[in-house]
């Protein structure tokens, strides 16, 4: 049995998903063109702060909260017509999460290169 490493999974995901820069993400948020989704764990938000206006959906619940057939579906939390721009701490989990949403059938999905680490150094407001 061969087990793929997490790094291999991330590398494969990055070939299939759209990666955007901090500036692209900021522009999309300014123009109300996307759902900015923070998939970090709640403990990370408490420790590091969060991006003003971002939706928090923990990585472990992402597919369930966005699946209309799921008992956990959060109707109205996310505008499904807008692009979903995901981020985590550094960009690894969000790459895997973006691929998972693409696999579910969502077409307008991307993730932010560098994650929250890069966001903290940008124009985004941290609260």
What is the average pLDDT across 82-111?
97
CATH code for position 14: 3.40.250.10
Task: Tally the domains of the chain.
Answer: 1
Q: Is residue 125 part of a domain?
A: no
Eight-class DSSP state of 60? G
Reference 59, options 99, 114, 105; nearest CA is 99
Q: Is residue 36 part of a domain?
A: yes
Find all residues with CB under 8 Å of 71, minimum gap 6, and list them.
64
Tell me the percentage of the chain whose pLDDT exceeds 70: 100
Q: Is residue 1 part of a domain?
A: no
User: Is residue 70's pLDDT more than 90?
Assistant: yes
- Tally Cβ neighbours within 10 Å of residue 76: 7
pLDDT tens for 4-50 read 999 999 999 999 999 999 999 999 999 999 999 999 999 999 999 99
pTM check: above 0.75: yes
Strands (E), the chain: 18-20, 34-38, 55-56, 83-87, 109-112
User: Does an H or E element contain 94, and which?
Assistant: helix 92-104
Q: Is residue 79 part of a domain?
A: yes
Find all residues with CB under 8 Å of 40, minimum gap 6, and list them.
48, 56, 58, 59, 87, 88, 89, 93, 116
Residue keyed to tokens 């959906």: 57
Q: Is residue 124 part of a domain?
A: no
Instruction: Look up the domain containing 61 and give its range.
Output: 6-119
What is the average pLDDT across 48-72?
96
Q: Is residue 74 part of a domain?
A: yes
Q: Is residue 56 part of a domain?
A: yes
Q: Is residue 76 part of a domain?
A: yes
Predicted local distance difference test score (pLDDT) of residue 126 = 97
């Amino acid at each position: 049995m061969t087990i793929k490493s997490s790094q291999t999974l991330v590398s494969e995901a990055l070939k299939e998903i759209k990666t955007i820069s901090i500036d692209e993400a900021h522009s999309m948020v300014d123009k109300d063109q996307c759902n900015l989704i923070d998939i970090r764990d709640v403990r990370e938000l408490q420790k590091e702060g969060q991006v003003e206006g971002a939706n928090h959906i923990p990585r472990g619940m992402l597919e369930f909260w966005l699946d209309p057939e799921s008992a956990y579906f959060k109707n109205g939390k996310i505008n499904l017509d807008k692009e979903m721009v995901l981020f985590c701490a550094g960009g690894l989990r969000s790459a895997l999460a973006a691929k998972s949403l693409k696999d579910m059938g969502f077409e307008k999905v991307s993730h932010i290169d560098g994650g929250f680490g890069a966001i903290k150094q940008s124009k985004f407001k941290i609260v």
